[in-house]
Structure 1
Amino acid sequence: MTRPKEDTNTVRALQGLENNSSSVRLRAALAVGTTPAPEFLGKLIERCAIEPEFSVREMLTWALTRHEASMTVPLLLDEVRSERAQARSQALHTLSKIGDRKAWPAITPALLSDPDDDVARSAWRAAVVLVPEDQEQELAVALATQLGRGERETQLSLSRALIALGEVMLPALGAATTDLDPRVRAHAVATERLWRDPDAGFEFAIEEAKRIVALGGAGQEGQ
């Protein structure tokens, strides 16, 4: 019988996930993902909500993806409704990695416009992975309402999400180029430039877009 040894290894791994050393937590998450078992899921989910180190969070997500989606997805959907922003963000990130479209109904307009930028970015990435084909245009419209939001990192994340939807996002993007808010117009123009020239680079695209908007030429970008 090997059960006692397995129990010892499980306890050691679970304790490792709570260790004060980030390197120990990283190794523990790696061990859990290498030998996945249902008894690890609760602690993995719990740790995702509070883990301060990015590299450890990524390993926790990887470990969760190594478990059966039928077990992990329901737990992650509960976390998506958490009051803790990191819990929502990390759950959405993990759902995007699992790619189970049964999770799509959880991607609500409230999440896509979440006041926390990290949560919103995770929701955008998850949305473009999980969205059914017949709802891509509706998603593009919802994402376009967030144009002009935040700083460069947030704006680039949104541009990438829109571009990932493909041509279906162009009508929503085109409408945004005539928005009354110059930040929205500039972001829309920059996103369209990146769509047409992926090698342009976001910094160049956004600065060029600002110049176009300042000159009143945003409306010509889609022509």
Structure 2
Amino acid sequence: MNLNATDSSVRLRAALDAGTTPDPADTATVRELVARCAVEPDFFVRDMLTWALTRHPVSITLPPLLTELLSPTPQARAQALHTLSKIGEDSAYPHITDDLLGDADDDVARTAWRAAAGLVPTRDARQLATRLSTQLGRGPRELRRSLSRAFLQLGEAGRPVLDDASTADGVAAAHAAATLILLDDPDYGFDAAGYAVAHPE
């Protein structure tokens, strides 16, 4: 594989080749794909790297991806979370820690929210909603919308937590109230829900 080529199209092709004909026993290739995820600057190449990893057995992709969750490099953490969400292996859920859900890097946190909501066992959904509620009101509009989407993935399990959070004051409470509106009507729209909270009739 030539994943370090200067030309992004060459790197894209290398990632495609790695996923097209995966060797179930080729741990070296998996490690190389995971390592490249941490530094790859091109979005489309990163997406292909993730696809290539999903083509390999979970037994050899999971260990290095879980290790990446502890990386000091934000892109490594974010891309590992994204790949785990695509693989859909439930056993990865316990490794999505509160540190990741509250990561100082917005991209990491956003990806952790999405991955956790997609991988959480039904029995733990309410607990996850409580963990996610600590992030209500965080950051700009797009980040808040991402968190609302994670709550929508959890569905009714998150309603009691949002109800409690919405009774306080401030940005977090308004975010919780807007998310409750979306829980009742996902087509309402995030901006419209926020407006309805800010301008009650």
Aligned to 2:88: 99
Aligned to 2:155: 166
> What does the per-residue CA deviation read over 1:39-90, in whole Å, with 9 as the maximum and x for residues that have no partner?
3111101110011111111111000000000000011000001010100000
Moved more, 29-38 or 64-73: 29-38
> What does the per-residue CA deviation read over 1:189-208, in whole Å, with 9 as the maximum and x for residues that have no partner?
11111111111111222222
Aligned to 1:9: none
State which structure, 1 or 2, has the greater radius of gyration over its C-alpha atoms.
Answer: 1
Shift of residue 211 of structure 1? 2.5
2:187 corresponds to 1:204 = no
Aligned to 2:109: 120
Aligned-CA RMSD value: 1.3
2:74 corresponds to 1:85 = yes
Q: What is the letter of the counterpart of residue 179 of structure 2?
A: T
> What does the per-residue CA deviation read over 1:91-146, in whole Å, with 9 as the maximum and x for residues that have no partner?
01101111111112201111111111111111111111221221111000111111
**Highest RCO, 1 vs 2 (Cα 8 Å, sep ≥ 6):** 2
Counterpart selection for 2:143 from 142, 146, 154: 154
Q: What is the letter of the counterpart of residue 107 of structure 2?
A: D
2:8 corresponds to 1:25 = no
Moved more, 92-101 or 20-29: 20-29
C-alpha distance in 1 between matches for 2:131 and 2:196? 25
C-alpha distance in 2 between matches for 1:173 and 1:160? 13
- The number of aligned residues is 198
The answer for unaligned runs of 5 or more in structure 1 is: 1-13, 216-223
2:125 corresponds to 1:136 = yes
Aligned to 1:221: none
Residue aligned with 1:163, SS:
helix
Shift of residue 33 of structure 1? 0.7
4+ residue segments displaced more than 3 Å: none
Matches within 5 A, 1:48-67: 48-67=37-56
Moved more, 75-84 or 31-40: 31-40
Q: What is the letter of the counterpart of residue 34 of structure 1?
A: T
2:182 corresponds to 1:194 = yes
Shift of residue 184 of structure 1? 0.7
- TM-score, normalised on structure 2? 0.94
Residue aligned with 2:22, SS:
coil
C-alpha distance in 2 between matches for 1:23 and 1:210? 47
